[in-house]
Amino acid sequence: MDTGDLSVKQGFYLGAGLWDRLLWRPVILTVAQSRLRLTDKADRILLDAAAPEVSARFSFFGMMHLSHGGRRYILNREGASWSSSFSQRQQEELKAAGMPIPKLAGGSGGGEGGGILDALDAIAALGDAVDAAERLADGGSLRRNWTPILTAIGCRVEARGR
């Protein structure tokens, strides 16, 4: 398998800003054919870009920040208690990919996201990325989970935070 064959989906809550959790909404991040695609409940494409055009960093608060074309996308595995739920179509898409449905604060909703791999070294990048993709639903920090995947497909990753 090469990086072009790597395919991953995970549900997140997309935030308008770090502290404005009123506007966090359910989205699905798909990595396929060395591209990142972010879609919302209405199937609108919020981000569709080749991996080398996207940069990522991970905050101390456990969020993933993607940047592309001057826009920033703040992704969190948990929504606020008043955030909208994932649509039936989104839930089916995540279940078909073997992924849990992200929960809302206070424990409502289903499942938890995550994964458990440390950053890749250059030689084992692809093998570790495939392992990380297979373990996304197992829990763990976003940084350990997504750094191997994003690095393997060519994103610029600032691996700071937790």
Q: What is the pLDDT of residue 104?
A: 74
Q: What is the pLDDT of residue 145?
A: 79
Q: What is the pLDDT of residue 116?
A: 26
Mean pLDDT of 65-90: 89
Question: Between 103 and 71, where is the model more confident?
Answer: 71
Find the range with the poorest average confidence among 4-13, 54-63, 66-75, 124-133.
Answer: 124-133
Cα–Cα distances in angstroms (integers) from residue 48 to residues 38, 95, 98, 155, in the given order: 7, 22, 22, 13
Q: What is the pLDDT of residue 29?
A: 96
> 108-142, pLDDT tens digit by residue?
444 333 322 233 333 344 455 556 655 566 666 77
Determine the distance from the C-alpha atom of residue 22 to the mean position of all C-alpha atoms in its chain, rounded to a whole number: 20
Q: What is the pLDDT of residue 38?
A: 97
> 12-55, pLDDT tens digit by residue?
999 876 555 567 899 999 999 999 999 999 999 999 999 999 99
Res 1 pLDDT > 60: no
Q: pTM of whole model > 0.85?
A: no
Give which of 31, 46, 70, 71 is closest to 155, Cα–Cα.
31
**Edge-to-edge order in the sheet of strand 64-68:** 45-50, 35-40, 25-32, 7-15, 71-76, 64-68, 55-58, 156-158
Burial class from Cβ neighbours inside 10 Å (0-12, 13-18, 19+) for residue 64 reads buried
